């Protein structure tokens, strides 16, 4: 019963989660209308912001109720708290197995769409912002745990490439849910794309990114809720299976070659000048 | 947090099942509160649904620990959820009906609250140190990844004419 005692000693943390979570649920989903569509605010976003505001590392003045002990304990709890959520998603996939099989080719190939980060982010990082090798780590992937592992293995996290991937990872951890809620809201209200395509793309990131993304989608297109959840869940499961390999064997080599062929030449030139 | 995550990703973690079983009860109870407060699903229905979700999660964890090959726990849990609800699985209709009493967004709310409490000093430092350039790049990374997936999926769906 040590496990139980350990958790009960964390009563402050669990109590705070219940209270803030309940407040967030009571506020409910809010729509902010914009010219092109609407941005959806979800309870999970309020819960994150309110918890962050009680976090002593974010707001040192409020660090009375939640202490460093609770902060340290909260990190492994995220992983456990996301497990029932993943189980729930699994139960939406089974009944929709025919939809999934029908969408199979799209579901498999959209994993390659993840390379879109290279098309958009790499040029901005290297030519727009004149970043160095940080750009390699920052732009080759969506920077979730498997991708961190790839960079840690190849360059270490202390290298420039490591700085790049860690930066995007942390921004994803802090703001990923907001970014995905906004992306999904805008894409869905544009009314151009097949909702099934939008749903599959929701599975590309972490569990909480998927929650924000599908939450926004199902709110805009409630009639397709079951299909959206099933396709996003299936895509997310595929990402676990393929993400590591796609990053390691496709995305990272492409970004390295691009960098060496363009900005890398300048690096070498500057290095030679210095030597001379 | 990141270092732990990397370690977990690469080697089979020796998960303590009793510890997880207890912690999951607490997490599920917290989730049940959200399920009752937000989506206003009757407590009794939500309770049975949550028991089903709990059992699926635990079977997934058992497989993570004892299966002959290693998959991350989330992948096992997802697979168990799928297998339990396939149309040809005996009793799947009942499981699907119970799981419907659990709202997926209500389960995500506590996870994000824990995430807000888990923000470490180091993460704030990294975010500050990285600066606006990396933040801007990160936004384009997310946009590019999402848009890329949408476009490929859209293209294939149209080609299929489905």
Question: Could you read off the pLDDT of B42-61 as tens digits, one per residue?
Answer: 999 999 999 999 999 999 99
- Chain A, 109 to 148: residues with Cβ < 8 Å from chain B are 109-121, 124-125, 129, 131, 134-135, 138-139, 141-143, 145-146, 148
pLDDT tens readout for residues A122-148: 999 999 888 889 999 999 999 988 888
- Both B94 and B127 in one domain: the answer is no
pLDDT tens readout for residues A68-100: 899 999 988 988 998 999 999 899 999 999 989
Kindly determine whether residue A83 and residue B27, on different chains, have CB atoms separated by under 8 Å. yes
pLDDT tens readout for residues A44-73: 999 999 999 999 988 888 768 888 899 999
In this prediction, residues B153-161 reach a mean pLDDT of: 92
- Both B111 and B42 in one domain: the answer is yes
Query: Phi and psi for A33 in degrees, rounded to 5?
Result: -70, 135
pLDDT at A245: 82
- Measured in angstroms, the CA of B151 and the nearest CA of chain A are apart by 7
Tell me which chain B residues have a C-beta less than 8 angstroms from the C-beta of A215: 104-105, 108
Closest CA to B50 of A4, A87, A226: A87
pLDDT at A144: 87
Q: Which domain holds residue B27?
A: 2-118
- Both B17 and B83 in one domain: the answer is yes
B154 pLDDT above the threshold of 60: yes
SS3 content of chain A, % helix, strand, coil (to 5): 80, 5, 15
In this prediction, residues A263-267 reach a mean pLDDT of: 71
- Both B112 and B145 in one domain: the answer is no
- Chain A, 11 to 50: residues with Cβ < 8 Å from chain B are 13-14, 16-18, 20-22, 24-26, 28, 42-45, 47-50
Local confidence band at A272 (pLDDT 50, 70, 90 cut-offs): low
What whole-number percentage of chain A has pLDDT above 70?
94
- Both B56 and B102 in one domain: the answer is yes
pLDDT at A276: 52
- Both B133 and B78 in one domain: the answer is no
Domain tally, chain B: 2
- Measured in angstroms, the CA of B44 and the nearest CA of chain A are apart by 18
- Both B21 and B72 in one domain: the answer is yes
Distance (Å) of CA A163 to CA A146, A157, A168, A254, A265: 16, 6, 9, 19, 21
Residues 6+ apart with CB under 8 A from B6: A145, A148, A149, A152
pLDDT at B3: 45
Kindly determine whether residue B138 and residue A66, on different chains, have CB atoms separated by under 8 Å. no
């Amino acid at each position: 019963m040590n496990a139980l005692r350990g958790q009960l000693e964390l009563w402050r943390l669990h109590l705070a989660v219940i209270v803030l979570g309940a407040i967030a649920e009571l506020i409910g989903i809010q729509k902010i209308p914009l010219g092109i569509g609407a941005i959806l605010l979800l309870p999970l976003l309020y819960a994150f912001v309110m918890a962050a505001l009680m976090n002593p590392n974010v707001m040192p003045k409020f660090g009375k109720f939640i202490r460093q002990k609770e902060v340290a304990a909260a990190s492994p709890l995220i992983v456990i708290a996301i497990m029932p959520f993943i189980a729930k998603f699994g139960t939406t996939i089974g009944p929709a197995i025919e939809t999934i099989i029908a969408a199979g080719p799209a579901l498999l190939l959209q994993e390659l769409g993840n390379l879109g980060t290279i098309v958009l982010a790499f040029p901005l990082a290297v030519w727009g912002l004149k970043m160095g090798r940080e750009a390699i780590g920052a732009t080759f992937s969506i920077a979730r745990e498997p991708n961190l592992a790839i960079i840690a293995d190849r360059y270490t996290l202390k290298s420039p490439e490591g700085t790049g991937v860690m930066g995007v990872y942390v921004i994803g951890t802090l703001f990923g849910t907001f970014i995905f809620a906004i992306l999904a809201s805008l894409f869905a209200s544009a009314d151009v794309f097949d909702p099934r395509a939008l749903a599959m793309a929701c599975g590309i990131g972490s569990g909480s990114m998927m929650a924000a993304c599908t939450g926004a989608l199902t709110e805009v297109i409630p009639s397709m809720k079951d299909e959206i959840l099933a396709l996003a869940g299936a895509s997310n499961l595929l990402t676990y299976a393929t993400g590591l390999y796609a990053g390691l064997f496709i995305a990272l080599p492409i970004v390295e070659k691009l960098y060496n062929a363009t900005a890398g030449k300048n690096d070498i030139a500057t290095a030679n000048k210095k030597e001379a | 947090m990141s270092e732990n995550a990397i370690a977990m990703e690469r080697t089979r973690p020796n998960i303590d099942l009793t510890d997880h079983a207890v912690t999951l009860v607490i997490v599920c109870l917290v989730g049940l509160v959200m399920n009752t407060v937000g989506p206003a699903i009757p407590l009794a229905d939500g309770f049975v649904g949550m028991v089903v979700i709990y059992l699926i999660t635990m079977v997934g964890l058992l497989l993570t620990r004892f299966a002959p090959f290693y998959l991350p726990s989330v992948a096992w849990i997802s697979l168990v959820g799928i297998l339990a609800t396939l149309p040809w699985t005996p009793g799947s209709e009942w499981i699907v009906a119970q799981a419907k009493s659990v709202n997926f967004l209500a389960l995500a709310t506590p996870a994000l609250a824990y995430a807000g409490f888990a923000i470490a000093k180091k993460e704030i430092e990294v975010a500050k140190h990285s600066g606006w350039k990396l933040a801007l790049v990160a936004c384009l990374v997310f946009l590019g990844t999402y848009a890329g997936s949408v476009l490929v999926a859209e293209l294939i769906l149209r080609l299929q004419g489905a």
